[in-house]
Amino acid sequence: MASRPDILFVVCLCARFQANTKESHLFAAKRIFKYLAYTPTLGLWYPRESSFELHTYSDADFGGYKVNRKSTSGSCQFLGSMLVYWFSKKRNSVALSTTEAEYILNGSCCAQAIWMKQQLCNDPY
């Protein structure tokens, strides 16, 4: 799953229900395996000749998870064209608006970008 971000969300969603599975979860898991069977060449690709410009993207939804109305947020960081960090998670708290969900995500996304920039700019020698 680490090299296949295209299946991250659905695999994590299915994993939430592994303690109390139903037949619909089995059909979802089979559909994931069918998708993997027809897309064996998809994955992360890191070319050698790439720039080291840091780009960060983020997005959050407002109450998108229908079970408890919690927001799902995600972020990714690229060095040039190479994906070096990404996450997608269901938030622990319920946001009262789309603006609040985006604000919370942007705070954590900026902290990650600052940390990444410090790691890239620090010269230990």
Model pLDDT for residues 17-41, shown as the tens digit of each residue: 888 888 988 898 899 899 888 888 8
Same domain, 84 and 95: yes
Helix axes 23-38, 8-15, angle to 10 degrees: 160
Q: Give the span between the Cα atoms of 23 and 42, in whole angstroms.
A: 28
CA count, 13 A, side-chain hemisphere, 30: 6
Same domain, 50 and 92: yes
Q: Per-residue pLDDT averaged across 99-118, rounded?
A: 86
Same domain, 76 and 117: yes
Same domain, 65 and 5: no
Residue 100: which domain range?
45-125
Same domain, 28 and 85: no
The DSSP call for residue 6 is: G
Same domain, 61 and 119: yes
Model pLDDT for residues 82-108, shown as the tens digit of each residue: 788 888 877 777 777 778 888 888 888
Average per-residue pLDDT for the chain: 80
